[in-house]
């Protein structure tokens, strides 16, 4: 796991040099006393299922994981519940309204973006929609496909957390 304090060469409040290896988490500034905890960002993703057992997969249009498979989802905004964020992200990415959600599992992940690696806690759900044929490639989605989750090569999946969640999905008997 990335040690996030190493990204700070100096205190973000007073500018004093960072604490070095002496303080892993939290960041403790010896000059001004700032204590800064590094907690993961929350992210959500859904195994959106059709009645035939297939799951909606997206092909990512951007890095990280460009051209690899993922599930619709994204980061939880401040003030949102995980479920609200998932409904918003699925609507933004593939245009679907979710009608049912069931929590599946969670895994830590790392999300490198614009020179910063974010530590995340990815929450996975199994979801349903009333109109799966309305799915469309929208925000940050190059393409989408309804696939048999048991036939997917895990190497094709963009993130380790998603590969692990796919294992949970199949073990729980959601797959075909």
Q: What is the pTM of this model?
A: 0.89
From start to end of the chain, where are the E strands? 27-28, 35-36, 41-49, 55-60, 69-70, 73-75, 98-113, 116-129, 141-147
**What was the pLDDT predicted at 176?**
45
Q: Which fold has domain 41-171?
A: Nucleoside Triphosphate Pyrophosphohydrolase (3.90.79)
**Partners of 101 in beta bridges:** 127
Tokens of 168: 């949970």
Give the Cα separation of 142 and 57 in Å (integer): 11
Q: How do the domains of the chain map onto residue ranges?
A: 1-38, 41-171
List per-residue pLDDT tens for the chain, 176 residues long. 455 556 677 888 999 987 655 556 788 888 999 988 889 999 999 999 999 999 999 999 999 999 999 999 999 999 999 999 999 999 999 999 999 999 999 999 999 888 888 899 999 999 999 999 999 999 889 999 999 999 999 999 999 999 999 999 999 987 54
Tokens of 56: 């909606």
Instruction: Tell me the three state secondary structure of residue 83.
Output: helix
**What was the pLDDT predicted at 5?**
58
């Amino acid at each position: 796991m990335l040690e996030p304090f190493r990204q700070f060469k100096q205190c973000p409040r007073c500018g004093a040099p960072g604490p070095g290896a002496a303080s892993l988490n939290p960041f403790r500034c010896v000059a001004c006393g700032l204590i800064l905890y590094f907690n993961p960002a929350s992210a959500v993703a859904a195994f959106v299922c059709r009645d035939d057992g297939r799951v909606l997969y997206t092909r990512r249009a951007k890095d990280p994981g460009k051209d690899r498979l993922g599930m619709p989802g994204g980061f939880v905004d401040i003030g949102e519940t995980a479920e609200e964020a998932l409904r918003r992200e699925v609507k933004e990415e593939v245009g679907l309204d979710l009608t049912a959600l069931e929590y599946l599992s969670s895994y830590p992940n790392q999300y490198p973006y614009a020179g910063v690696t974010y530590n995340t806690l990815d929450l996975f759900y199994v979801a349903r929609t009333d109109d799966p044929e309305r799915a469309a490639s929208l925000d940050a989605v190059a393409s989408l496909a309804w696939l048999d989750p048991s036939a997917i090569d895990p190497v094709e999946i963009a993130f380790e957390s998603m590969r692990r969640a796919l294992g949970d999905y199949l073990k729980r008997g959601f797959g075909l």
